[in-house]
Amino acid sequence: MKPLPLAVHTAAQVRALDRHAIDDLHIPSYTLMTQAGEAAAVALRSCWPSKQRIAVVCGPGNNAGDGYVLARLAQSMRIDVTVISLSDTAQLRGDAKRAFDDFVAGGGVVQPWSEGCLAGAEVIVDAIFGTGLSRMLDATMIERIEAINECGAPILSLDIPSGLDADTGAVWGAAIVAERTLSFIGLKLGFYLGQGPNHTGIVLFDDLDLPAGATDFVPPSAFRIDEDFVAQLLPRRRRTTHKGQQGSVLVIGGGVGMAGAARMAGEAALRAGAGLVTVATCPENVASITASRPELMCRGVESASDLAAMIERADILAIGPGLGQSDWARALLDITLESHKPTVIDADALNLLAHTPCANSKWILTPHPGEAGRLLGIGTAEVQSNRLQSAREIAKKFGGTVVLKGAGTLVVTGDSLPYICDQGNPGMASPGMGDVLTGVIAGIAAQTADLPGAARAGVLVHAMAGDMAARRGERGLLATDLFGHLPTCVNPAQRF
């Protein structure tokens, strides 16, 4: 398979790219369909080399055409192919009709859906609906999609899991849960939003051999964050580097009984490469933090006035982990905001900010969906139903850079195109992961003047470390399990 592109598109943008290939580059549409089927055949053999019985489930449109091409090619490879149509094949038109005719002319047989039609299939190919679906499915189609999901065989979806909205990741009643999704021409925004991550499985890509630069014809809607960006932002250090050149981070948090959150954020900043990290916390936490991580400087803070000198010495502030919402916490947040220094704001600092909103171009806000809802005055479900719009609204209301955490973490700065993180895993839904992310972003920000870049790099580094830690298994993953992997992730130029 070909490398995933960085650009992510809406369904309309992918259709525009398709029309550009046909109308301007003079590539016949059936040639594109044939190449899609060929790419699917390659994916089938690459992902499941030992499987010899497949079922291809086709719908009413061009997505079905891709499936018929694949079925014809699979038969030529001596794979046992069952083709099932969920619609009247007499209604097929255009390229889909031609692909169907070619399959039948080669001896292929198409059967209607029936009970037990998937029995014995070792792989199922989903060629039911493409990116144009934008309506609720009827009860019969929902029942059949659910039956496909429940049959137990791995599923390869062509272009997009059927039933998934290509733009929002919404599910139109039911959607295929694929083990692999082979996307053609452009990656779809819906893969990374809403319920998309639950349905796409591992995303594969094929550009259908379009000429280099052809996809530049239509600007994307978002970009994926990739490791090359981290390498550019964090190049190999010079031999004469000293810690004073790597920035100073001040972590502010850790109310009574919450030492762990501030301590994890502080260590994460060190692991991300910050030269100096100080934790400002309530006095009773100092001994435990210093004993557990002596590389951290730790200062007890009785009142906001105790914080002023520490703020002055720091390059980057990170406030929120374990902060609480007491009068003490409010006073620490107020003096932090008054400093106008670059600041990462998380956890209870976000909840306090929601009560007294203000804007700042020099901060990075890192809400999870519940905190995002409080910032916007809406419910968590509403945030999750349109994560991209929610992140944009927070950025518009509060300024700076917004990191909306969750599956497919989004990084939004002003009117710039958003960035999406497609790494990370469900095991990272555990206590303290957000505190570690805050520290990672702050630690990277201490080493660069590019705050939005630090947010993007921090999100990816955090996700990569989480994936490395999850090699032992996702369930039971702890936030502190990431610490041993963070140095590997912030030194991409030194990996070999």
- What are the tens digits of pLDDT across the range 309-326? 999 999 999 999 999 999
Q: Would you say residue 366 lies in a domain? A: yes
Q: What is the SS3 assignment for 223?
A: strand
- Please identify which residue in the block is written with the tokens 């590539």: 27
Residue 458 lies in a domain: yes
Residue 316's Cβ-side half-sphere holds a number of Cα atoms within 13 Å equal to 34
Tokens of 182: 């082979």
pLDDT at 255: 94
Alpha-carbon span 471 to 475, nearest angstrom: 11
Q: Which domain holds residue 274?
A: 227-494
Q: Is 53 left (phi over 0), alpha (psi -120 to 50) or beta?
A: beta
On whether both 280 and 209 belong to a single domain, the answer is no
Radius of gyration, CA atoms only, the chain: 26
Whether residue 218 is found in the same domain as residue 231: no
Q: Does one domain contain both 204 and 311?
A: no
Check which CATH number belongs to the domain holding 159 and give it.
Answer: 3.40.50.10260
Please indicate, yes or no, whether residues 218 and 281 belong to a single structural domain of this protein. Answer: no
| Predicted pLDDT at 493 | 67
Mean pLDDT, all residues of the chain:
96
The pair of structure tokens assigned to 7 is: 């650009």
Quick one: angle between helices 259-271 and 433-445, nearest 10? 40
pLDDT recorded at residue 495: 57
Residue 260 sits in a domain whose CATH number is 3.40.1190.20
Q: Do 114 and 209 lie in a common domain?
A: yes
Residue 451 per-residue DSSP state:
H
User: Do 25 and 85 fall within a single domain?
Assistant: yes
Based on the fold, state whether residues 201 and 244 are members of the same structural domain: no
Q: 445 and 358, same structural domain?
A: yes
Q: Name residues of the chain where pLDDT drops below 50.
A: 496
The predicted pLDDT at position 1 comes to 75
Sheet holding 363-365, edge to edge: 187-188, 7-9, 222-224, 419-420, 410-413, 401-404, 363-365, 343-345, 316-319, 248-252, 276-281, 297-300
